[in-house]
Structures are given as C-alpha cells and as structure tokens.
Amino acid sequence: MAGPCDRQPGFQTRWREGDNLPEIGFVLPDGELVADYTLELRVARPDGTILVKPAIDQGGSAGKFTWDDDDLQAGEGQRCEIHRIDGSGDEFTSPAFLISVDPRVGA
C-alpha cells in the first residue's frame, strides 16, 4: 500500500493554459552561482513532448524559470525536473515534482 511519502510532491499553485505567471523561482544552496551552471526545467507535457526551459540568472544564487504564451498545456500532474549541469558536463537532476494546468478560459 502506498503511503503519503510515496507520492511525488506537487505545487499548490495551478497554472492556466496560456498564462505566464506564476514563475518558478529558486536559490542555489551554499552560495553557488547560477552563472556557473546550465540549469533547465524539463516538463513532460500531455502531448508527449518535453518542454525545456532555461533558467534566467537573477544574479548570484538566484534564478527563475518563466513561461511563454504557448508553454503550458492543460493537464493534471505533469512531471517536472530541474537539471543542473556544471562546466565539466556532470549533471544533477532534482527529485521530480508535479504541476497541474487548467484549460484556457472559454476553451
């Protein structure tokens, strides 16, 4: 039997198809600099494609991922991961988390 710790975490926020907000912000630990990495948010969309969003460096350890008008597709529990690649090509993948996107109003 699956318990509450066996589920993937999800965002409390729900997005809407076509929205640009909310953005996903982050701060790297231990004073690491966003500029020292390639950081990507990868979203498994309902149509079977993988959306890859590069991080925006906000200076120092702070960064964010933003949405374009056609990024978000309606669907529940879309699997997301953040990939951090350093200068030598070593890659770290975050634990997966889920986002849900409601259909565009009037769709």
pLDDT by residue (tens digit) across 65-82? 999 999 999 999 999 999
How buried is 100 (Cβ within 10 angstroms: 0-12 exposed, 13-18 middle, 19+ buried)?
middle
Which tens digit of pLDDT belongs to each residue from 28-75? 999 999 999 999 999 999 999 999 999 999 999 999 999 999 999 999
For residue 2, pLDDT over 80 is answered with no
What pLDDT sits at residue 24? 92
Q: What does CATH list as the number for 13-102?
A: 2.60.40.10
User: What are phi and psi for residue 29, nearest 5 degrees?
Assistant: -75, 160
| Helices (H), ranges, the chain | none
Q: Which pTM value belongs to this model?
A: 0.84
The rounded distance, in Å, linking the Cα atoms of 16 and 72 is 7
Name the β-bridge partners of 72.
none
Give the per-residue pLDDT at 53.
Answer: 98
Q: Listing from the earlier edge strand, what are the strands of the sheet with 24-27? A: 24-27, 62-65, 56-57
Each residue's pLDDT tens digit, 82-103? 999 998 999 999 999 999 999 9
Looking at residue 13, its pLDDT comes to: 75
Report how far residue 19's alpha carbon sits from residue 95's, in angstroms, rounded to the nearest whole number. Answer: 25
